[in-house]
Structures are given as C-alpha cells and as structure tokens.
C-alpha cells in the first residue's frame, strides 16, 4: 500500500513537470548562446528501465536531451530541480560533446531568500567540470552567505547528475 501511494505521488510530480513556453525559450536561448548556433534540435535521451533504477537521478522524456545542429552532435542538457529552504527551484546544466559542463543556470527561483545561488558569478564555478568529478561544497564550490541551503542543494544535485551521466556513459546509454 505504501509503495502504491509513493508511486502515485512520484507520477503526479513527474507529470506536473511540464516546461512552459517561457522556460523553454530561456533554455533555447542558453543552448544557442553556448554553442554559437541559430537553430538546433533536441532529442529525448531514452534510458532503459534497468539502468534508470540504478542511477541517482531518474531520466525521463522531459529532463534530459541530446542537442544537434545541422546533423552535428553538440552535447546534452539536463533540466532539473533542487530544493532550497522551503521550495524547489529549476535549473539547467548544459554539457558539451565530451560531457564537460558548459553552462549552469537557475531558471526559476521561488523563494525570497537564497536567490544569490542564481548569480552568474557563483554558477560559473561549475563550468569546465567533468562528470567524473565529485564536487565538495565549501571546497570545490564556494559557499554563499544567505544561500547556504540552496547552494548546498545545487551542488548535491549537480553531483547526482554527474554520477547519473557517468553511469549512462559507461553503460552506453547516451
């Protein structure tokens, strides 16, 4: 019974995660700027159920995409959530074709405190990081006064994403 309720809640959360046109426009703008292109195609990355059971972050048809332009593979982007002090915030991580972080951006921050986590200066710490890294908050990623919970949460989510993509890459799921 508990398993059924948990599954129902998970399905509701996943199905409620539709990307609005405004958010998709922000994502498109970031992808075009990073890869210096005018148009691109995003393709859902499909993961086997067996692999999705062992990765830290579940990959769905709504959160992980392959980026191509004019038949050239450029990289991937992941659309995720992290939890601040009292609410979730949405972010993207864009990877180049070698699975190195090219950009991290907070798309929607829903709290009145901790918004500093969305600053370009703080987020640029993730650029150039590899999926094989295990980032340590306050060591590899600087803390932010007034945004400790959000910054720690963001670092943890990026680490889970790195581990997930590393597994997918190792298992030839990309």
Going across the sheet that includes 101-109, the strands are 41-44, 64-69, 72-83, 88-96, 101-109
Q: Cα–Cα–Cα angle for 108, 13, 40, nearest 5°?
A: 55
State yes or no: pLDDT of 5 exceeds 70: no
State yes or no: pLDDT of 1 exceeds 60: no
pLDDT the model gives residue 112: 87
How far is residue 99's CA from residue 73's CA, in Å, rounded to a whole number?
Answer: 12
Mean pLDDT (whole number) for 104-123? 93
pLDDT in tens, 140-173: 999 998 899 999 999 999 999 999 999 999 999 9
pLDDT the model gives residue 18: 65
- Band of the pLDDT at 55, cuts 50, 70, 90? very high
State yes or no: pLDDT of 11 exceeds 50: no
């Amino acid at each position: 019974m508990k398993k059924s309720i948990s599954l129902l809640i998970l399905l509701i959360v996943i199905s409620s995660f539709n990307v609005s046109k405004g958010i998709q426009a922000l994502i498109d703008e970031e992808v075009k700027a990073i890869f210096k292109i005018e148009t691109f195609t995003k393709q859902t990355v499909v993961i086997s159920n067996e692999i999705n059971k062992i990765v830290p972050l579940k990959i769905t048809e709504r959160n992980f995409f392959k980026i191509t332009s004019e038949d050239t593979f450029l990289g991937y982007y992941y659309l995720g959530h992290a939890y601040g002090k009292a609410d979730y915030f949405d972010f993207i991580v864009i990877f180049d074709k070698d699975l190195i972080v090219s950009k991290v951006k907070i798309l929607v921050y829903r709290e009145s405190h901790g918004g500093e986590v969305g600053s370009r200066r703080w987020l640029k710490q993730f650029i150039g990081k590899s999926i094989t890294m295990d980032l340590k908050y306050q060591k590899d990623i600087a803390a932010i006064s007034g945004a400790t919970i959000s910054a720690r949460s963001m670092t943890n989510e990026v680490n889970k994403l790195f581990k997930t993509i590393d597994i997918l890459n190792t298992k030839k799921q990309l």
